[in-house]
Amino acid sequence: MSVPEPAVHLAFLISAGMGHLNPALRLAAVFLRYGCKVTLITPKPTLSLAESNLISGFCSSFPQVTHIDFNLTPLDPTEVNSDDPFFLQYETIRRSVHLLSPILSSLSTSLSAFIVDVFLISPILSIAEKLFCPIYIYFTSSARMLYFIAYVSVLADSDSDAQPHPSTFIGDAVQIPGFTSPIPRSSVPPPFLLQGSNSFQRMIMEDSRKLLKLDGVFINSFEELEGEALGALNEGKVVRGLPPVYGIGPLMACEFESVDQGQRGSMSWILEWLDEQAEGSVVYVSLGSRTETRKEQIKDMALGLIECGYSFLWVVKLKKVDREEEEGLEDVLGSELMSKVREKGVVVKEFVDQMKILGHPAVGGFVSHGGWNSIIETVWEGVPILTWPQNGDQKITSEAIRMSGVGIWADEWGWGTEKVVKGKEIAKRIKEMMSNECLRVKAREMKEAAKKACGVGGSCEVIIKGLIEEWKRNAQVT
């Protein structure tokens, strides 16, 4: 009687924010398509309704998934030096991880691997000895950002201070072994350089040293896009002993990400409007779901879009993720300017199906905050991009895109929270993006490379199949 081939059972522990949730669920969907058993562990409560809806959509699309709510221990905000809702949620999850042990021990089949969010490295490793399975993280940014985080511990250990603050060992630029282009101090995520301790600093400093204890890192990138960075990481040039970094990108939108019933009407008329526009004539503008657009900047953004001469689809966010108050756009712009905006373009405030918009022939360029998910989606559709970083890793990801040749970065604008960029400057940069034929050709070439990486026999398939076989062999041994 033959022994059945061992099934591969993966558990995913997700974190906060659509930028972290989306790639985790897309990665889980890839493994599901290759026949793996998946258990999804989701912190409760979620930070936003959008996250809750996305999780529900995923579980409806894949009913074979085991979904477990992970009830968090409430956090006293006074214990954490941050008012950022995302960092507060990250810290809450980190402090609740010890409660996972009974959840994991109750699973009906043993785990082949545990895949967790990048912001949960240290707390997960603290219970790793009880799991008896490999631990992987999914990294939600670029390979360029990963090698910065990996190198932080080296910089800290080289500082003479026993407990160095990042501002003491981050000079004017960080030159990392194995990479030709340094990371300037101005591109380092601002919370990392703030005076005084904060949750983001502590998290990065603690987790950087723990990367070596992981069994692997999944990253939504691929060789043609970030070959130098991926090579430096995997060849030990950045930090010796770093685990394998698997470029399993591009991870693409799946069926579970379709907009809900209340948003389908908006998408319908948006697509109808795009159908009426000439090919490559529309500028799509969206500065991300995490940060609201500053009122001081909105007027100049409107003026720049009007002056650039192109039709535009502008997704504007006027409230924070954890707040309900919201002004109307006309309250900010005034009726006269709002009328001019409506003559030239379309403005929406709801979540949109970004992939459908980027994939529409009428869209010729994307003004983005430089979030990695948005960048990968843009690369997949072959659309040139102009990045305007707002916070976090977005300057480092913008540099990665500029180096790849598929986009431009208005680095002279600084962070989106620092100053008001005038409408004339915005119009000038949009014209540069839309009229640059070299940019357009490179974007098309990268699109083909992305399709190849995701296709039959491509790098993503090779990596996923190889890991599944490895996990099966490990199960037979044990």
Does the pLDDT value for residue 376 go beyond 90?
Answer: yes
Q: From residue 374, how far is each of 97, 161, 321, 352 by CA, in Å?
A: 29, 39, 18, 12
Residue-wise pLDDT for 69-90, tens only, equals 999 988 877 777 777 788 888 8
Banded pLDDT at 322 (limits 50, 70, 90): very low
Banded pLDDT at 225 (limits 50, 70, 90): very high
- Among candidate residues 9, 84, 117, 393, the one labeled active-site is 117
Same domain, 106 and 234: yes
The residue among 128, 388, 368, 404 whose CA lies nearest residue 249 is 404
Whether residue 56 lies inside any domain: the answer is yes
* Mean pLDDT (whole number) for 28-41: 96
Is residue 211 within 8 A of residue 238, CB to CB? The reply is no
Task: Reduce the DSSP state of residue 138 to 3 states and report it.
Answer: strand
Lowest mean pLDDT among 76-85, 102-111, 112-121, 122-131: 76-85
Same domain, 281 and 206: no
With a CB cutoff of 8 Å and minimum separation 6, the contacts of 173 are 182, 183, 184, 185
Same domain, 307 and 407: yes
Q: With left for phi above 0 and alpha for psi between -120 and 50, is residue 201 left, alpha or beta?
A: alpha
For the chain, give the mean pLDDT: 88
pLDDT at 455: 92
Whether residue 179 lies inside any domain: the answer is yes
Whether residue 441 lies inside any domain: the answer is yes
Amino acid at 432: E
Question: Which of residues 168 and 395 earns the better pLDDT score?
Answer: 395
The CATH number of residue 82's host domain is 3.40.50.2000
Same domain, 196 and 344: no
Q: What is the dihedral of CA 223, 224, 229, 231, to 10 degrees?
A: 40
Whether residue 102 lies inside any domain: the answer is yes
Encoded tokens for 448:
């083909």
Task: Reduce the DSSP state of residue 392 to 3 states and report it.
Answer: coil
* Mean pLDDT (whole number) for 46-54: 87
pLDDT at 211: 94
Task: Reduce the DSSP state of residue 410 to 3 states and report it.
Answer: coil
Beta bridge partners of 368: 286, 387
| 20 flagged as catalytic | yes
Same domain, 168 and 56: yes
Does the pLDDT value for residue 349 go beyond 90?
Answer: no
Residue with tokens 């009426």: 276
Whether residue 4 lies inside any domain: the answer is no
Domain that holds residue 144: 9-253+454-477
Amino acid at 132: F
Same domain, 230 and 340: no
Same domain, 425 and 465: no
Same domain, 84 and 184: yes
Same domain, 147 and 206: yes
Whether residue 2 lies inside any domain: the answer is no
Same domain, 329 and 342: yes
Whether residue 35 lies inside any domain: the answer is yes
Q: Which phi and psi angles does 153 have, rounded to 5°?
A: -65, -35
What are the respective helix, strand and coil percentages of the chain, to the nearest 5? 50, 15, 35
Same domain, 244 and 361: no
Same domain, 148 and 236: yes
Q: Is the peptide bond before 191 cis (omega within 30 degrees of 0)?
A: no
CA angle 64, 70, 75 (to 5 degrees): 160
Whether residue 284 lies inside any domain: the answer is yes
CA angle 474, 475, 478 (to 5 degrees): 85
Report the domain count for the chain: 2
Task: Reduce the DSSP state of residue 8 to 3 states and report it.
Answer: coil
Residue-wise pLDDT for 251-290, tens only, equals 987 767 765 544 555 788 999 999 999 999 999 999 986 6
With a CB cutoff of 8 Å and minimum separation 6, the contacts of 159 are 168, 169
**Distance, CA of 389 to CA of 375 (rounded, Å):** 12
pLDDT at 161: 56
